[in-house]
Chains A and B, each alone.
Chain A
Amino acid sequence: GDSVTQMEGPVTLSEEAFLTINCTYTATGYPSLFWYVQYPGEGLQLLLKATKADDKGSNKGFEATYRKETTSFHLEKGSVQVSDSAVYFCALKHNAGKSTFGDGTTLTVKP
């Protein structure tokens, strides 16, 4: 079955540092890939997505590229802010099916 593996957290960075959160997946076919963000006490918000190989999703300074050859979708941001502190989830989804999520990576950004 499908699975998503994220780098384990927690990740602690200083403000303006470079962020990478690794995500690799196992799936049949060609799923769409997503990053969601969850702030404390809230639901998941879609951060970015990519629907086919070599697509790059980007939003709010975050970006991730769908790499079919390495089955990866790593999240990056060039300069993090305190307000980026949250839990980040990588996910995949096939047409008309459930989404499979990684276990989440907690990011804390210190001023």
Chain B
Amino acid sequence: GAVVSQHPSRVICKSGTSVKIECRSLDFQATTMFWYRQFPKQSLMLMATSNEGSKATYEQGVEKDKFLINHASLTLSTLTVTSAHPEDSSFYICSASGGAGGSYEQYFGPGTRLTVT
């Protein structure tokens, strides 16, 4: 099956610094990638949808200047949390969709645990 990886799996950073999380589709070309955030004991909340070569579409309430998303190639999307604060501590999960990009063809990465101290 299709494999999506994320790097790093865990990261701890100091308040005010920026952190970059990578999401890669390893064996297929992902025309669309999605970023989700999950707080402890809660569900996944969609943050943004990114299509290769174009600007990401952010969900309401998600600051695009704080969560920078780049989808420069068909196998890589990055999420940069800028000027991170403790409240940004969360589990970030990406998913990738290939081909027609229908929502039922999404493959999820293993997630990145971000802790901001």
Chains A and B are bound partners: no
